[in-house]
Amino acid sequence: MYLPMSVPLEVSGLLFVGAGKPAVVLMAAGALRRALDPAADGDQDLLPTVRMRGRSGRWLTLHASLTEPTLGRPSETVVVISPSEPEEVVRLNIASYGLSTREEEIVKLVARGRSTREISKSLYISGHTVNNHLRSIFEKANVNSRREMVQRLFFEDVMPGVLGD
């Protein structure tokens, strides 16, 4: 989907208001303007990206960019909307549970089918420490097993209904 954003934006509280565009589209456009501001010390080559859930429950990714100016026409802000990649959604899911860096490492190893012993060897920690991290992860994700954890973090929002639950 292509949405030109040539109208000026106003900031009203936390939401951007302008031209009847959805707030998330205006947020992406505003982030682009901030990123391209000469006073900003950010990397000018990085394009702002926003992820959101659509009405259907699917995740969408919005990328903001500028068109090249032409004679008599200034550059315009363009927001491209596409379905989010599964890896993006998994990253969001894991982050949403507030896991520590070590817990995230353990989650990824469990998802690859690693045993407690294999995890402890690869991370240079004891099996008891792995189990303590797993208990913490289970509590944060409100699950009771490795299988439930993997399903919650890797499948529920990425591929709803795939596991038949």
- Per the confidence metrics, is the pTM higher than 0.75? no
Set out the domains of the chain in order of their start, with CATH numbers. 2-84 (no CATH), 88-155 (1.10.10.10)
CA geometry: angle 49, 54, 55, nearest 5 deg = 160
Query: Per-residue confidence of the chain (165 residues) as pLDDT tens digits?
Result: 434 443 333 322 223 334 566 777 777 777 767 766 656 555 555 667 878 877 777 888 888 777 888 888 887 877 788 888 888 888 888 888 999 999 999 999 999 999 999 999 999 999 999 999 999 999 999 999 999 999 998 887 666 544 444
Q: Residue 15: its pLDDT value, please?
A: 33
Q: H or E element: which one contains 2?
A: strand 2-4
- Token pair belonging to 7: 């109208």
